[in-house]
Amino acid sequence: MKHSKNPIPGFLHNFEQYGDTYRAYLGGIQPMLVTKDPDIVRHVLQKNHRNYIKTPMIFEKLRRFLGNGLLTSEGPYWLQQRRLIQPGFHKQRLQALVEIMNQVIAETEPKGLVQAGESQAVDVYPMMMRLAFDLVTRSLFSTAVSAEKLELLSHSLTTIQAFLVQQIRQPYLNPWFKISGQLSKHIKLGKAADEILLKMIRNRRSSGASQEDLLQMLLDARYEDTGEGMTDQQLLEETNILITAGHETSANALSWIFYLLAKHPAKQALLRTELQEVLGTTQPTFAHLPRLRYTTQVIEEAMRLYPPAWVTDRQSAKADEIKGHQIPEGTMVVLAIYALHHDPKFWDKPEAFQPERFAPETRKQRISNYSYLPFGGGPRLCIGNSFAMMEMQLVLVHYLRKYRIELATEKSPELLPLVTLRPKNGVSIFFEEIA
Ligand code: HEM
């Protein structure tokens, strides 16, 4: 299997040939068990999760750049941090962010989508990357972050992420990265981003002013045993992780949602009818969101077809056995989320875009049986899932109420599965203003 190219067709082919679970070797040496069996997925993520750590080969690299935050930490430290931070991401607590999000979406809506009555073809991918980045950073820091700082942060973090992908996908280049100075260049870039974040954290702490944002929640959180809060270094690591984990994923989901809605005008019309009925022309509030049922189904179905986290993996700490498969210590278990989401055993006409599948009667069962896991599962389930659902709903409200969208090209976007699943050459869309 070539991992520097799109590996999805290879996975699908292997599943067809060898069944729902097969063995392989990454780079010819690292033993892997690749699976799209929901029972095995549940075993690894939930039932016996203590035995399955985040694959060190990958996570050591991430830790080097992003620090030891929720996504990258393990064991007792991870649990302590998760317990501390989890309440801040509770649905009710996120209420305060609706106003910030509405503001960011309105402010960052690009000009020129329609010029002199003519709609312009726009690639929504970079647009959504920027929007999702602004949404998470402004939710963290409110207005304390200037446009200039945002630009610098965005540049540093996206450059570092691209470099990390290269390091993981093409490990044979690592010695070259060291010699050529690429590694130290990226470490420097990371330090510059850290400086910006640290300054904002210290300013907030010393100002004593309280804001209704995620940074405030992180600052106010207290460990149960000591009653102390996090240090500046811990806050830096957690904010770094939240920005990184929380923008490319949402941007990809949004780009694919725009693509699917543009491709399916009848579904787009249904969604718009719902927006009209629930909201009319009023500004969306937290109370409106649960009533946007069809909009939620559209988001869920889009993440089934194009899961931003298309694969995840763990490594066994000790030997284990799952459904007759022997798992020696140190085996990498690859959970093929994309393949699971397209498996005809669980999904009728799996390639069709049918938001109706996620009607409330069937939705619960799909999630509880581990055949649908865009946000992962078990104790390490995405902490930002409600945040992400909320921001995606709000983006759809603001854009779809104002514009009818249409594909600018007949060609479907190719899959580009890096850390997250991207549309390879973006998604070109016409925006037509609704009178
Ligand atoms: C559509 C958007 C998103 C998707 C599809 C997504 C998906 C995921 C998945 C699949 C995991 C689990 C990975 C694993 O177990 O290996 C995860 C973890 C995580 N996500 Fe998200 N995510 C999204 C948005 C966000 C947002 C907006 C934030 C923060 C604001 C966020 C923060 C995190 C963090 C911190 C973790 C690690 C949690 C832990 O290990 O305790 N994510 N995400």
Assess contact for 236 and 164: CB atoms under 8 A: no
304-361 pLDDT tens trace:
999 999 999 999 999 999 999 999 999 999 999 999 999 999 999 999 999 999 998 8
**pLDDT of amino acid 164:** 82
- Domain membership flag for residue 3: no
Strands 21-26 and 30-35: antiparallel
Pick the range with the lowest mean pLDDT from 177-186, 212-221, 302-311: 177-186
Compute, in angstroms, the gap from residue 173 CA to the centroid of ligand 1: 28
pLDDT digits (tens, 9 = 90+) for 237-251: 999 999 999 999 999
State which of 243, 382, 387, 394 you would mutate to test the pocket of ligand 1, scoring each by most atoms of that ligand within 8 A of its C-beta. Answer: 382
Asked whether residue 1 is domain-assigned, the answer is: no
Residue nearest to atom 41 of ligand 1 (CA): 380
Q: 374 CB under 6 A from ligand 1?
A: yes
Q: How many angstroms separate the alpha carbon of residue 221 from the centre of ligand 1?
A: 20
Find how far residue 260's CA is from the centre of its chain: 18
In a domain, residue 2? The reply is: no
Domain-embedded: residue 395: yes
- Nearest ligand 1 atom to the CA of 309 is 10
Indicate the pairing of strand 30-35 with strand 332-335. parallel
- The domain that holds 116 is classified in CATH as 1.10.630.10
Number of domains the chain is built from:
1
Residue labelled with tokens 């850390």: 419
Q: Domain range spanning residue 207?
A: 8-433
Q: Is the dihedral of CA 221, 224, 227, 233 positive or negative?
A: negative
- Tell me: the pLDDT tens digits for 134-175? 999 999 998 767 888 888 888 888 888 888 877 777 778 888
Task: Provide Rg for the chain, Cα atoms.
Answer: 22
What is the value of pTM for the model shown? 0.95
Measured in angstroms, how far is the CA atom of residue 98 from the centroid of ligand 1?
A: 19
Contacts of residue 351, defined as CB under 8 A and 6 or more positions apart, other chains included, come to: 305, 342
* Residue 217 Cβ < 6 Å to ligand 1: no
Distance 408 CA to ligand 1 centre (A): 31
> Is pLDDT above 80 for 435?
no
